[in-house]
Amino acid sequence: MNILTLNAGSSSLKAALLDAATGRTLFDMTAERLLDAPVLQFSDGTTIELESKGPERAIAVCLEALADKLKDHQVDGVAHRVVHGGEAFDRAVRITEEVEATIESLIPLAPLHNPVNLKGIRVAKDVFPDVDHFAVFDTAFHQSLPTRAKTYALPKALAKKYGIRRYGFHGTSHKYVAATAAAFLGAEPSDLRIISCHLGNGCSVTAIEYGRSIETSMGMTPLEGLAMGTRSGDIDPSIIAYLNREAGLNPQEIDDILNKKSGLLGMSGISNDMRAILDASTQGNADAQLAVQVFTHRLRKYIGAYAAIMGGVDAIVFTGGIGENSPIIRHRVAQRLDYLGAVIYEDFNNSVELSDTHPVAEFNMRHSRVKLLAVRTNEQLAMARECARLIQKEDSVNTLPTIPVAISARHIHLRQETVDALFGKGHELRVKKWLSQPGQFAAEETVTVVGPRNQIERVRVLGPVRTVDQLEISRTDEFFLGIDAPVRESGKVDNTPGCRIIGTAGSYDLEDGVICAWRHIHMTPQDAEVFAVQDRDVVEVTVGSGERALTFGNVLIRVSPKYKLEMHIDTDEGNAAEINSGDEGVLSETSGLGVLVKRRVG
């Protein structure tokens, strides 16, 4: 399937026709100087210089020239890069009038980007009228940010009224390089904690915990976070009022300084191009040297912070023009990370040479627990694949069975040693009630769970005994007990908090094992085939219908011959959605890094 990807910026337009299946680029065009006299370069070696037609017509003349070049190629769909998807889009979508209107409504959040993205869409629909158009959002991958990560500490009503929250950008690239890194390591993204550093003209770093973006350095706009080519990244927000008061600059001028005249360019006074900065720094230019130091220091700070948030890291990925090509920047960022378990191998770092056939290089010591990887990003291919999947999905009308929903109250799984400590040596758990999952039972035994703030009595023990202790509580329980428990799948208790539990014969201090269970669906391998999903995929499920329909994102698939088809949510979620055990859900779509499954229609 051939997909034309378009990236319309304020002064340039990039287009590429890709075969989504093979990843091969069939044709591409770069148009620069859109606002003056556009210069178009094509992959067939030709260049066209157009006379200025004014900014209104610039995109149209470029796309008309492109369409002429593509007249002998098949184009099955057009994928448009859109910078800001706001709250509205957590994935790529087919462009309808409603989608266009929503992108337009988000212009206040991205005044530099969304208008030109939208213009690209509208012009391309005229120039390529016979194919469907799709929008791929830079923000979509970060819609999984937990509330604590996306919330600015501002007055709630003000933030809500103006949509002020952290959205994150470069999502297509972060998602793509995380998946590429995981494949290189022979793992699933859902097995890894990855810190991905996208270092191009714009720079951002993302913490991807078991396949989901849970923290990212860009915020409501792409200005927050790392020092970039021309953007300042993090500054004390008071500087803005100070510049206004003391330097007499108005908001527009300050915005301009922070977005276009700061970063590497501002600090060095030389260039926004890292190559020029590095050259000047080796020749002894002190401003360029400082620019390099600020750039790498800031990134090291974020890496440490993100490792802390995830309780560790398995791979640190460098991508984008700088991340892929600059050994000295990778060295400055990744040295002395031994305390994290990441040990750089300088020879490998210096000889990294990425290409289409070798898109990943590892540059850590063999004994390094954390992998250091340079990964070639390919946002165009990622866009083309998303778009091809949407086209294929549309063709697949099917009738998937519904999924029973069960609400899991707080409960605890215990090892035999812990049962001994709580209920007496050799005690065997007694069956009170068999549960729907074969072999699982609610035991007669209950425990008291003691947290730093409060305790909860009569927490049900589930049997049979397991190899790890694990207490599963809801968010409400967490705050009541005073424990900060991460959302985890069952069994993944590394770096989780513990607590004290009390039984009839004694008490026991859990070192770890307290989690908020990640909402999940149990199914057999046969069910998995029917739903076209695999173990550990992340899907979306719609429960109920009509006005009461509620969609749960981020639902983990667990496949085992021992399971019975059932979705488990916790009491908080059940209450919020007015769901009772016995309601039924419909698998609507996968998200995150999982594969895409068919949509149920009708």
Q: Which of 326, 380, 496, 590 binds ligand ADP (CB under 6 A)?
A: 326
Q: How far is the CB of 535 from ligand ADP (least distance, A)?
A: 35
Q: How far is the CB of 66 from ligand ADP (least distance, A)?
A: 20
63 binds ligand ADP, rule: CB under 6 A: no
CA pair distance 406, 520, nearest whole angstrom: 10
Query: Could you give the count of Cα atoms lying within 13 Å of 548 in the half-sphere of its Cβ?
Result: 11
The answer to whether residues 198 and 180 touch, using CB atoms and an 8 Å cutoff, is no
Q: Which stretch binds ligand ADP (CB under 6 A): 31-39, 200-208, 385-393, 468-476?
A: 200-208
196 binds ligand ADP, rule: CB under 6 A: no
Residues 6+ apart with CB under 8 A from 246: none
Q: Tell how far CA 61 is from the center of its chain.
A: 35
Closer residue to ligand ADP in complex, CB, 292/596: 292
Active site residues: 138
Q: Which of 92, 192, 274, 559 binds ligand ADP (CB under 6 A)?
A: 274
Q: How far is the CB of 93 from ligand ADP (least distance, A)?
A: 23
Q: How far is the CB of 323 from ligand ADP (least distance, A)?
A: 8
Site map for ligand ADP, 208-237, x if CB under 6 A? ---------------------x--------
350 binds ligand ADP, rule: CB under 6 A: no
* Binding residues for ligand ADP, total number by CB under 6 A: 13
CA pair distance 328, 1, nearest whole angstrom: 40
Site map for ligand ADP, 278-307, x if CB under 6 A? x-----------------------------
CA pair distance 85, 95, nearest whole angstrom: 13
Closer residue to ligand ADP in complex, CB, 320/503: 320
Q: Which of 160, 275, 369, 562 binds ligand ADP (CB under 6 A)?
A: 275
What b-and-e string marks burial along 159-172, b requiring 16 or more CB atoms within 10 Å of the CB? eeeeeebbbbbbbb
List beta partners, residue 82: 137
What b-and-e string marks burial along 487-513, b requiring 16 or more CB atoms within 10 Å of the CB? bbbbebbeebbbbebebeeeebebebb
Phi, psi dihedral angles at 297 (to 5 degrees) = -60, -45
Residue with the shortest CB distance to ligand ADP: 321
Q: Which of residues 306-325 bind ligand ADP (CB under 6 A)?
A: 320-322, 325
200 binds ligand ADP, rule: CB under 6 A: yes
273 binds ligand ADP, rule: CB under 6 A: yes
Check the annotation: does 330 bind a ligand. Answer: no
582-585 contact pairs (CB < 8 A, 24+): 582/404, 582/405, 583/404, 583/405, 583/543, 583/544, 584/402, 584/403, 584/404, 584/405, 584/543, 585/402, 585/403, 585/404, 585/405, 585/541, 585/542, 585/543, 585/552
If one counts every other C-beta atom within 10 angstroms of the C-beta of residue 377, the result is: 25
CA pair distance 549, 539, nearest whole angstrom: 16
Q: How far is the CB of 107 from ligand ADP (least distance, A)?
A: 22
Closer residue to ligand ADP in complex, CB, 322/483: 322
Binding positions for Mg(2+) are: 7, 379
Residues at the interface with ligand ADP (CB under 6 A): 200-202, 229, 273-275, 278, 320-322, 325-326
Binding positions for ATP are: 14, 198-202, 273-275, 321-325
